[in-house]
């Protein structure tokens, strides 16, 4: 007879998880309104054993608070979790299967932009009945967005690997992320922070994008990025004078906490001196490195030429003629080399990889090297919990009302407008290139494989993404879809159909909170 040795801390974590799930089912019997929701197995999949083991190794509790960071250019989603020393540590990084739009914040409804900035996710924003397997609402627009007149709704992080203004993961990935958010709420976290960036806010990336018109906004949210980097604490977010303010506290002579209004003048406030000193030190180092990079002529990143969003290289490698789009490719590694690696989840047949807008590229002027322009480095400032848009009818609307929070939107259905080109104007060439030559160059550059003659296009790439529902049915489906295996426990190949239904967990996220009545 063989025996499997399990460390005591991991065993305790597993037992605690099972005990909580059992108790929630028993308590759900006292609340007939919640019993039917216990059948939603997707939203109640347990945290995978490998993640539990990682938590034990990093001295984290299963139900400690989490924080999420998103990076478009790198096409990565990070889940941070609070350790027992009170600081956040990186638990896991997930490759993003698809995001849409350009680098830069969302401005208006229908622009296909995935939002950037700081947002707050409470239980009412978690949607277990999403048309995209599972999802949670980002809370866009926040108070800052609203102060600038920005519009948009139903911007999600969801499964299905297809995006029209959202951040799309595989179903297996979103199931894992959803379970981590669920457990943090069980532990008492009222809302977790979502930080969405165009790229990692490093001196190299700031130098590459120094001529981008979004740079003033990016410098502002870099303040919050820097606060988190030096403190490893969730930055408090407030808004005033149509700008972000991070970690603001009451002034020494004030009798009450400052009251912030995104459109009004900033109240008197201070930022803790230790935080200010640490942030200034980091910024001084960043600025010195930035100046060196600009001085040596670091090339300016090419502006969007009509490509719609990006995709992590591990997913692009699995799709015939796949492209990372506006995300970074595999540095030192070709997509062909990555094609043999396992994909973190199932890539559906209707996936829409990034493609250039060939009409836009063909009609655009020839690209020209942009001049190197030094931009003054960012100043200091600090982050607050943004209020999500309030709507009724979410899965956790009852929970939200019990906890004093509103419900939110549920699924992404923003229709795609035509992509537009934003290519830097070029000086008049001696011999103007023809439209045909521009088109050929664009196809060769952006669509791998088109530089060969008459390369047959695999049928898999011709599968079009079906139109996303304008108003998805939030009722439980009569036939539940099969659960997806955890990406932490090993995912199949990209083209493999995954998701044989495991044993259905009988507990329910909402039913746990239902016992709080």
CA-to-CA distance for 247 and 230, rounded, in angstroms?
A: 13
Q: Which of 158, 161, 209, 227 is the catalytic position?
A: 158
User: How far from 442 is each of 429, 438, 450, 465, CA to CA, in Å?
Assistant: 18, 6, 10, 23
Q: Which of 97, 161, 166, 240 is the catalytic position?
A: 166
Task: Tell which phi-psi region holds residue 149, choosing left (phi > 0), alpha (psi between -120 and 50) or beta.
Answer: left
166 annotated active-site: yes
Residue 260 CB coordination number (10 Å):
18
Q: Write a three-state SS string for 404-457.
A: CCCCCCCCCCCCCCCCCCCCCCCCCCCCCCCHHHHHHHHHHHHCCCCCCCCCCC
DSSP label of 134: S
The closest alpha carbon to 177, from 395, 487, 506, 388, belongs to 487
227 annotated active-site: no
Cα Rg for the chain, rounded, in angstroms? 24
CA-to-CA distance for 79 and 350, rounded, in angstroms?
A: 27
Task: Tell which phi-psi region holds residue 101, choosing left (phi > 0), alpha (psi between -120 and 50) or beta.
Answer: left
Residue 148 CB coordination number (10 Å):
15
Could you give the residue numbers annotated as active site?
Answer: 158, 166
């Amino acid at each position: 007879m063989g025996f499997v040795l399990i460390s005591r801390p991991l065993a305790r974590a597993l037992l605690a998880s099972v005990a909580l799930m059992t108790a929630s089912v028993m308590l759900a019997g006292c609340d007939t309104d919640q019993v039917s929701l216990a059948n939603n197995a997707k939203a109640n999949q347990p945290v995978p054993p490998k993640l539990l083991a990682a938590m034990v190794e990093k001295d984290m509790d299963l139900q400690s608070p989490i924080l999420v960071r998103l990076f478009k250019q790198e096409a990565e989603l990070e889940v941070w979790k609070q350790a027992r020393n009170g600081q956040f540590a990186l638990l896991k990084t997930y490759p993003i299967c698809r995001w849409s739009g350009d680098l830069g914040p969302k401005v208006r409804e229908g622009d296909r932009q995935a939002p950037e900035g700081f947002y707050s996710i409470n239980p009412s924003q978690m949607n277990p009945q999403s048309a995209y397997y599972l999802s949670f609402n980002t809370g866009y627009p926040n108070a800052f967005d609203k102060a600038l007149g920005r519009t948009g709704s139903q911007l999600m992080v969801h499964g299905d690997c297809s995006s029209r203004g959202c951040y799309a993961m595989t179903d297996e990935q979103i199931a894992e992320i959803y379970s981590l958010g669920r457990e943090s709420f069980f532990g008492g976290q009222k809302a977790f922070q979502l930080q969405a960036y165009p790229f990692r806010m490093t001196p190299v990336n700031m130098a590459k994008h120094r001529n981008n018109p979004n740079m003033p906004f990016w410098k502002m949210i870099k303040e919050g990025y820097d606060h988190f980097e030096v403190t490893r604490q969730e930055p408090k977010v407030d808004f005033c004078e149509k700008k972000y303010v991070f970690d603001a506290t009451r002034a020494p002579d004030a009798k009450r906490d400052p009251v912030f209004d995104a459109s009004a003048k900033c109240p008197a406030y201070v930022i803790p001196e230790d935080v200010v000193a640490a942030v200034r030190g980091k910024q001084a180092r960043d600025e010195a490195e930035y100046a060196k990079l600009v001085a040596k002529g670091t090339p300016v990143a090419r502006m969007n030429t009509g490509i719609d969003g990006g995709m992590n290289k591990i997913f692009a490698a699995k799709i015939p003629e796949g492209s990372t789009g506006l995300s970074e490719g595999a540095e030192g590694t070709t997509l062909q080399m990555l094609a043999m690696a396992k994909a973190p989840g199932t890539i559906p047949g209707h996936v829409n990889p990034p493609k250039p807008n060939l009409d836009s590229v063909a009609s655009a002027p020839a690209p020209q090297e942009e001049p190197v322009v030094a931009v003054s480095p960012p100043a200091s400032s600090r982050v607050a919990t943004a209020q999500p848009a309030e709507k009724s009818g979410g899965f956790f609307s009852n929970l939200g009302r019990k906890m004093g929070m509103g419900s939110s939107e549920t699924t992404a259905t923003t229709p795609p407008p035509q992509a537009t080109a934003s290519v830097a104007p070029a000086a008049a060439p001696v011999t103007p290139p023809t439209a045909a030559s521009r088109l050929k160059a664009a196809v060769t550059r952006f669509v791998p494989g088109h530089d060969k003659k008459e390369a047959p296009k695999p049928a898999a790439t011709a599968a079009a993404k079906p139109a996303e529902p304008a108003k998805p049915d939030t009722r439980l489906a009569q036939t539940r879809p099969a659960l997806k295996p955890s990406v932490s426990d090993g995912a199949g190949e990209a083209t493999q159909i995954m998701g044989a239904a495991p044993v259905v967990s009988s507990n329910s996220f909402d039913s746990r909170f239902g016992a709080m009545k």
